[in-house]
Amino acid sequence: MAYQSGVPDQQFLWDIFRRVDKDGSGYISADELQMALSNGTWSPFNPETVRLMIGMFDRENRGTVSFQDFGALWKYVTDWQNCFRSFDTDNSGNIDKNELKTALTAFGYRLSDGIVDTLMRKFDRFGRGTILFDDFIQCSVILYTLTSAFKQYDTDMDGVITIHYEQFLSMVFALKI
């Protein structure tokens, strides 16, 4: 299998694409992507994470991903898999609170234990005190999106913003989450 600068070759991608595109429509729908992805358990891949990912790579705004954008999507998923594995230090197949803290610190966040607890509660879909692969992506993407929105207002970067009600509404409604 030939790889050029980390990008899988077109034939390899096409084979995956055809397998994922169950109805042969030439586009990957959210349902098809969800079926193709695994969070390491028998439970279905988080539909919210699927929606986020389709939204990121759906350049034609049809709610689906074409083969043209599939390479980028597949690389994104693979990068997240590698990231998840590297932070799952005890190889349990999920991320516990300490592993999440380490991951967030490595991503450049400085968050208190209280916020890490809040993230754990919010993204631990099954109430087991751990976060699965799909929920880890969702957690990271949302945290990134919220942080970017905050930073736009925090021009002096002191971690404090003062915004009016309507600025707040515009900020929240502009979020792609």
Report the interface residues with Ca ion, using CB under 5 A.
Answer: 21, 23, 25, 27, 88, 90, 92
In the bound complex, what is the minimum distance in angstroms from residue 17's beta carbon to Ca ion? 10
Give the gyration radius of the chain's Cα atoms.
Answer: 18
Q: Which is nearer to Ca ion, 23 or 113 (CB)?
A: 23
In the bound complex, what is the minimum distance in angstroms from residue 99's beta carbon to Ca ion? 5
Q: Which is nearer to Ca ion, 21 or 124 (CB)?
A: 21
Q: Which is nearer to Ca ion, 8 or 93 (CB)?
A: 93
Q: Which is nearer to Ca ion, 33 or 52 (CB)?
A: 33
Cα distances from 168 to residues 92, 163, 174, in angstroms, run: 40, 6, 10
What's the token pair of residue 19? 């397998």
3-state secondary structure of 30: helix
In the bound complex, what is the minimum distance in angstroms from residue 129's beta carbon to Ca ion? 11
Q: Is 32 exposed, middle or buried (0-12, 13-18, 19+ CB in 10 A)?
A: buried
Q: 28 with 85: CB under 8 angstroms?
A: no
Alpha carbons 115 and 100: distance in angstroms, whole number: 11
In the bound complex, what is the minimum distance in angstroms from residue 59's beta carbon to Ca ion? 16
